[in-house]
Amino acid sequence: MVITSISNEKVKFFRSLLEVKGRKASGCYLAEGANLVKDIPCKDRVKMIFVKESKEDTFREITDLFNAEKIVLTDELYDRVSDTVTPAGIAAVVEMPKNTDISDIDDEKIIVLDHVSDAGNVGAVLRTAVAAGYRTAVFIGCADPYSPKAVRASMSAIFKINLCFCDNTEFLCSKNTLKYDIMVLDMMGENIFAHVPQGKYALVVGNEAHGVSDEIKAIGRKLSIPMQSMESLNAAVSAGVAMYILERNQFKQ
């Protein structure tokens, strides 16, 4: 059966996942696009797959990978409910994994996003973090990494990294935080090329406009990326550059 009505309950559910409220209520999020859907590693976390009618045969090889219910929408309806300018024609409803507790993190390095407000930056940071070997990302008051924009920008990294959500107080007061060499990106910090991480470390990237919060700066080492003729870099770019510099420095010691 091909669904034609925007008032259909399953279509309403699809639309609800475009908003934070709907994602929190259901514990699910959308992964839209053929590459994203086929890269989902935990197939049992996929609860539904929405497909555009004209793309049903094109994506059959992908939809057959899952046991999930397949829901076919008319092209017009799919384009109407999707939040992308040019919808790919396939989207999976994915169950969110359990939140990683700050006290349970035991990785050699972690990336901390402190009030990063742009969903595209959030997804881009996750993409680079996974590429650089990070296994956990800590979110403090950030844009939702499960938003469609962040999921797309992560380029499947959202499936490959543990996410921890906490506030400033939880992060600062956790005994686990003391195990890490806290390094914050700051324009007034020491040259990051000269810093060699000692043991476990946490790299903190801050808000696009205001940087890292004062409370976290107070417990961390401030590091800066040297620049010529520019005052700052995009938050995701800064995080990516810093992740690889620190990896290089630690490897060379």
Mean pLDDT, range 212-235, rounded to an integer: 92
Helix pair angle (119-131, 235-252), 10° resolution: 20
One domain, residues 6 and 131: no
Tokens coding 172: 């600062």
Domain residues for 226? 102-252
Q: Give the CATH number for residue 138.
A: 3.40.1280.10
Would you place residue 244 in the very low, low, confident or very high pLDDT band (cuts 50, 70, 90)? very high
**Cα–Cα distance for residue pair 152/212, rounded to 1 Å:** 25
Would you place residue 252 in the very low, low, confident or very high pLDDT band (cuts 50, 70, 90)? low
pLDDT of residue 101: 94
pLDDT of residue 251: 65
pLDDT higher than 90, residue 226: yes
Interval 18-60: pLDDT, tens: 999 999 999 999 999 999 999 999 999 999 999 999 999 999 9
Mean pLDDT, range 172-181, rounded to an integer: 91
Q: Phi and psi (nearest 5°) for 160?
A: -120, 10
One domain, residues 22 and 123: no
pLDDT higher than 90, residue 230: no
Largest CA distance in the chain: 62
One domain, residues 120 and 184: yes
pLDDT higher than 90, residue 232: no
Domain total in the chain: 2
- Do residues 37 and 31 make contact, with C-beta atoms less than 8 angstroms apart? yes
pLDDT higher than 60, residue 253: no
One domain, residues 118 and 240: yes
- Do residues 174 and 101 make contact, with C-beta atoms less than 8 angstroms apart? no
One domain, residues 117 and 199: yes
**Cα–Cα distance for residue pair 151/138, rounded to 1 Å:** 16
Count of alpha carbons within 13 angstroms of residue 86, beta-carbon side: 1
One domain, residues 142 and 229: yes
pLDDT of residue 178: 86
One domain, residues 45 and 69: yes
One domain, residues 72 and 180: no
Give the Cβ contact number of residue 95 at 10 Å.
14
One domain, residues 26 and 127: no
Distances (CA, A) of 238 to 135, 168, 178, 184, 190: 19, 21, 24, 11, 15
pLDDT of residue 8: 98
One domain, residues 8 and 34: yes
One domain, residues 57 and 119: no
Give the Cβ contact number of residue 56 at 10 Å.
16
pTM as predicted? 0.94
One domain, residues 109 and 210: yes
- Do residues 89 and 52 make contact, with C-beta atoms less than 8 angstroms apart? yes
DSSP 42: -
Structural domain ending residue among the three candidates 39, 70, 95: 95
Structural domain ending residue among the three candidates 95, 130, 164: 95
pLDDT of residue 248: 85
Mean pLDDT, range 189-206, rounded to an integer: 93
pLDDT higher than 70, residue 171: yes
Structural domain ending residue among the three candidates 95, 126, 155: 95
Name which of 18-22, 144-148, 195-199, 200-204 the model is least confident about.
Answer: 195-199
Percent of the chain predicted with pLDDT > 70: 99
Interval 100-131: pLDDT, tens: 999 999 999 999 999 999 999 999 999 999 99
In 155-191, which positions are buried (b, 16+ CB within 10 angstroms) versus exposed (e)? bbbbbbbbbbbbeeebbbebebbeebbbbbbbeebee
Across the chain, mean pLDDT equals 95
Q: Give the CATH number for residue 12.
A: 3.30.1330.30
